[in-house]
Amino acid sequence: MNHFPGWMLESAHSYLKAAELLDAQHLPHVAHVNAAIGMEILLKSFISIPDQHQGTTGETYVLDKEAIKTAHKCLQNEGKTDRSRRVDWHDLLTLFHAVPEQIRCSLALDSQEECFEKYRSVFTNSRYPYESTSANSSDPILMRMLRWTLANVVGYHKERGSQDAFIVSYIAKQQAGPGDA
């Protein structure tokens, strides 16, 4: 990977913060959906390609759709996705498998595969709670997993030399510890 998607990480962090605030306001369902969006962005940061303004704070991206389609086919072959089901661009398990294996191992994400499978459809199936097909439950596990994964991803990019402002400030806040920043 030649780019450091700081803007995507910052966006995932914003959704995490929103989820935490919503959870504190006793809105666990909405917090759960926000945590799913944050995780989706975080995973997509590894399967995105800069398309405009490369190397600037306004860098934008397109998804490597072939990587996602390949992951979807692998899940179909393993029986983890129905063969008649189309690619769901929000499916956390598919996005997880689209992340290169070397990166997943480096981040210890493989240890979380069951969680990605459990929460794979939160955004798709839970964002409209008034629909009869909507999932009616939520829990804080996805939010905790997002917090852990975000810290690992930021560290991963820092170790590879990123000087992105968000990554540098995130590391500085983590090193300062709670109450110091």
Model confidence over 8-17: pLDDT tens digits? 999 999 999 9
pLDDT at residue number 105: 94
Average pLDDT, the chain: 90
Residue of 20 and 59 predicted with greater confidence: 20
* HEC per residue, 104-126: HHHCCHHHHHHHHHHCCCHHHHH
**Reported pTM:** 0.91
Position 1 pLDDT exceeds 50: no
Q: What is the pLDDT of residues 43-82, one digit of tens each?
A: 999 999 888 887 777 778 999 999 999 999 999 999 999 8
